[in-house]
Amino acid sequence: MKTKIYIVVLAVLALMFLVTACSSGATATTTTAPSNNTTTLDGAKLVQERCTVCHTLSRADSQHLSAADWKSVVDAMIARGAKLTPEEQTAVIDYLAANFGK
């Protein structure tokens, strides 16, 4: 159990470091939540657009985290400047958990 926690903490710290490094020269863009959007958000597209700016997809593939762990990682990335609406966060977490989860 302690090993899993250690791995998750290291993964989060590594991702935080990379986001900090990537955000230092990046220009911020703002996104707004679409009002009354009834379409399903594409988690894969969001990951490609928002996450792979600083991270390769192979980084996610190497993690194999639970949905709760992916939520922690996404929350940490948002704290570091990633731009996702609450709906987009859910779509990204669902995608990561389904495709790169335990």
30 inside domain: no
Q: Which residue has the higher pLDDT, 91 or 28?
A: 91
pLDDT digits (tens, 9 = 90+) for 32-52: 444 444 468 999 999 999 999
15 inside domain: no
Q: How many CB atoms lie within 10 A of CB 9?
A: 11
Tell me: pLDDT of 62 over 80: yes
Q: Which residue has the higher pLDDT, 75 or 3?
A: 75
55 inside domain: yes
- Whole-number pLDDT of residue 28: 41
CATH assignment of the domain containing 76:
1.10.760.10
85 inside domain: yes
Tell me: pLDDT of 80 over 60: yes
- Whole-number pLDDT of residue 40: 82
Contact 81, 22 (CB under 8 A): no
What DSSP assignment string belongs to 3-16?
HHHHHHHHHHHHHH
- Whole-number pLDDT of residue 38: 45
Tell me: pLDDT of 77 over 90: yes
Question: Domains in the chain: how many in total?
Answer: 1
Tell me: pLDDT of 9 over 70: no
73 inside domain: yes
Domain that holds residue 65: 42-102
The mean pLDDT of the chain is: 76
pTM for this prediction: 0.62
